[in-house]
Amino acid sequence: MKPELLAPAGDLQKLKVAVLYGADAVYLGGRHFSLRAGAGNFSEKELFEGVRYAHENGARVYVAVNIYARNEDLALLPDYLEMICAAGVDGIIVSDPGVVDLARRLYPGLPVHLSTQANTTNWATARFWEEQGVSRLILARELSLEEIKEIRKKVTAELEIFVHGAMCISYSGRCLLSNYLAGRDANRGDCAQSCRWRYALVEEKRPGEYLPIEEDSRGSYILGARDLCLVEHIPELVKAGINSLKIEGRMKSVNYVGGIVKVYRQALDAYIKEPENYHPDPAWLEEIGKVSHRRYTTGFLFGAPGVSGQHYEGEIYTSTHTFIGLVKGYDEKTGMALVEQRNYFAVGDEVEVLVPRGKNIKQKITALYDEEGNSIKAAPHPQQKVWTPFERPVSAYSILRKINQ
């Protein structure tokens, strides 16, 4: 069995990048009922376009409808589900039992995937949801590989797990910290990421005297987990019978989406092609290190991570490269690419180009021109579009990066 590679699509551009770089499916949120209010998310028009683009390129689309609904939400859900079905999506991701029931009754042909937010941690719960008509279970992140295998033996529903990206310190993401401190409900899509803030201790008889919980010069990260990375454990995941390997990151950049999806695509394909001769390629870890990330961990896959799942050495975020531009088009007559700037770059810079298929390209920026054709020395303005010569043709959505000094 070849598992599905499932990628985040925070907006329409990220959806296209995910599909081009090798995702079998994408998950996204509309403007309502999704647990990532801070992502770009999709209007009705964008959803129809995104589904059409994905299907034309052989990929599936799942829409997150995974808030814990209040009474007022239920009145709006039927029309929203009708729109989703009209768009032709391949399934919805749901947490709330009431929403599961509503979707199953109103649209019995629409596949329902149970969100990790629902905390499925055992085979009896998995079997219960299967009996309710749920076709896929996105398992709790706290499960070990052995626990996943046991669930696989007891249910026929598809199983999905997260394999890469940020992990919430609260139980499968069921967090109240943001609501308490910022009035923003994480369980209704508006998390303020309070676990990433700096904290200190105060002893009750010493009011105003703050004792920092220091782990490095930037403050405390005692509430922040390391990022998950299971790319070296593809064989174990396939053998366990997992149907979908999910990458976290609807709020991450196109650089993150393209780079991470490409690596997992290569790793998964390499194992499926020659399982007996499979060895993780060191280049995959090198590539994954080029995007901004927290230190990596295998999470709970091989048992509770303990201190190693939270402790950081040095800075909390690390990356070897900076995302500087996204290719928007290529002119074969002039041999120049139109690049949308994301971070400062200039003539003379050595850059690496991440392409959807094949090996990365390395070259020097030899010249830059603005959209009117004027020669310029640098691209200093965010999202400024510039033309630059390329040594070979390059496709749209290729990603330019510069090595960090």
- Residue 30's CATH number: 3.20.20.70
Strand pairing class (345-346; 112-114): unpaired
37's tokens: 């209010």
Q: Beta-carbon neighbour count of residue 272 at 10 Å?
A: 14
DSSP H stretches of helix in 88-211:
97-106, 123-131, 145-154, 177-182
**What pTM does this model have?**
0.88
pLDDT of residue 204: 78
Domain final position from 154, 189, 212:
212
In terms of residue numbers, what domain contains 351? 321-403
- The residues that bridge with 165 in the sheet, in sequence order, are 228
pLDDT of residue 292: 87
Q: Identify whether residues 345 and 373 lie together within a single domain.
A: yes
Q: Identify whether residues 122 and 38 lie together within a single domain.
A: yes
- The residues that bridge with 200 in the sheet, in sequence order, are 212
Q: Identify whether residues 62 and 40 lie together within a single domain.
A: yes
Q: Kindly state whether residue 340 falls inside one of the protein's structural domains.
A: yes
pLDDT, one tens digit per residue, over 374-383 is 999 999 888 9
Q: Identify whether residues 145 and 177 lie together within a single domain.
A: no
Q: Identify whether residues 108 and 53 lie together within a single domain.
A: yes
pLDDT of residue 349: 96
User: Using CA atoms, how far apart are residues 257 and 243, in angstroms rounded to an integer?
Assistant: 20
Strand pairing class (350-354; 361-364): antiparallel
Q: Kindly state whether residue 396 falls inside one of the protein's structural domains.
A: yes
Smallest CA-to-CA distance from 310 within 216, 217, 230, 232 is with: 216
Q: Kindly state whether residue 157 falls inside one of the protein's structural domains.
A: yes
Give the relative orientation of helices 12-20 and 254-273 as an angle to the nearest 10 degrees.
30
Greater confidence (310 vs 243) lies with 243
DSSP letter, residue 226: P
- The number of distinct structural domains making up the chain is 3
Q: Identify whether residues 306 and 390 lie together within a single domain.
A: no
User: Using CA atoms, how far apart are residues 372 and 375, in angstroms rounded to an integer?
Assistant: 9
Strand pairing class (375-376; 4-8): unpaired
Q: Identify whether residues 291 and 361 lie together within a single domain.
A: no
Q: Beta-carbon neighbour count of residue 396 at 10 Å?
A: 15
Q: Where residue 385 sits, what CATH number does that domain have?
A: 2.40.30.10
pLDDT, one tens digit per residue, over 70-124 is 899 899 999 999 999 999 999 999 999 999 999 999 999 999 999 998 999 999 9
